[in-house]
Each structure stands twice: as structure tokens, then as C-alpha cells.
Amino acid sequence: MFEQTFKNIDDVLWKDAGADSELDYIGQTSWVMFLRYLDELEKDKADHAALEGKTYDFILDEDYRWSNWAMPKGGKGEFDRNKALTGPDLVEFVDTKLFPYLSKFKESAESPATIEYKIGEIFSELKNKIQSGYNLREVLELANELPFRSSKDKHELSHLYETKIKNMGNAGRNGG
């Protein structure tokens, strides 16, 4: 499942003027998958806290959570295309709001050992290279179809990343 989705995402990125090589593909796919995974992790923690009668303080403000900016839902819980950003609006949001917001976590985190610091570190070093908001919308929709809840899913994703990185190194690139 993950492998085919990654191939589909690579095909979309191949069409985009901003992603020039497989190194770009893995970098761009990584930030999307990270935010998708973080959303699932936060939902799990919130569910666990609710079962214990506690509240969970989300790391990301509501506007920057995957389920609000990447895959907004309508009243019946289905993807709402009318609320979803796409085209230039989506790229502008990612470049001028999302990435700057996430990179600031590095400055405000209590210590380098926190997930907040790691989020800030990651997004202060990254740049969105996907120039077409229509391509980015397609990548987001593909990423949203992937499950991240089980250990098996996480293991499959980890194995796929390791294989992709190894293949880049074997191809003579310095990305491996």
C-alpha cells in the first residue's frame, strides 16, 4: 500500500517544476508524511487522554493541524472540497504561514529534547519545493489515504524510507 502511494506521489512530483530529482521527491514527501503522521499521533494522544478523563493539549494550533488545512471535513465528516485550499492559495499558505509557524517551534521550545523543538528544527531547514498547488493538493490527498495507526503500518513506512534512501545512495547520489 505505502509503496504504490509513494510511486504515485513521485509521479505527481515529477510533473512539478519545483521538484527536480528523487532527492527532492523524498524531501517533499517526507514533510507531508511527517505532518500526516503527527496529526494521527495527536489524535491518538487526545483519545487516550479522553479515556482517562483528561484533556490533551495539542502541539499545533487548530489552523495548522492536518485535518484543518490539508484535509478539511464537512458536516458529515467527508472531505470538503469547498473548504480545501488548492492552487496558488495552497502554496501561499504552506510557504508563508505553515512553514514559518512550524519553524518557530525551535525558538519557543523548552529544550532540544522536546518534540516541539524537533518540529522547529525540521521546518527551519526545509523548504516547500512544490510549485503547483494542484500538484500539492494531489499529494496531500494521496498521503491522507495512508494508515498510520498500527505498528505494522509504521514499520512498513520506515522500511520503505530506508529502501528509498539506500537506492539514492546506490545510484551515486550523495542523498543516501
Burial of 86 (0-12, 13-18, 19+ CB in 10 A): middle
pLDDT at 34 over 60: yes
Q: How far apart are CA 148 and CA 53, in angstroms?
A: 25
CATH code for the domain in which residue 64 is found: 1.20.1260.30
Residue 110 within any structural domain of the chain = yes
pLDDT at 175 over 70: no
Q: Are 72 and 83 in contact (CB under 8 A)?
A: yes
Residue 176 within any structural domain of the chain = no
Counting the structural domains of the chain, the total is 1
pLDDT the model gives residue 176? 44
Residue 175 within any structural domain of the chain = no
- Kindly state the DSSP code that residue 145 receives in the 8-state scheme: T
pLDDT the model gives residue 50? 97
Length of the chain: 176
Q: Are 173 and 47 in contact (CB under 8 A)?
A: no
Burial of 110 (0-12, 13-18, 19+ CB in 10 A): exposed
Can you give the residue range of the structural domain that contains 63?
2-170
Burial of 33 (0-12, 13-18, 19+ CB in 10 A): buried
The model's confidence at residue 1, banded by pLDDT at 50, 70 and 90, is confident
Q: How far apart are CA 20 and CA 116, in angstroms?
A: 30
The model's confidence at residue 24, banded by pLDDT at 50, 70 and 90, is confident
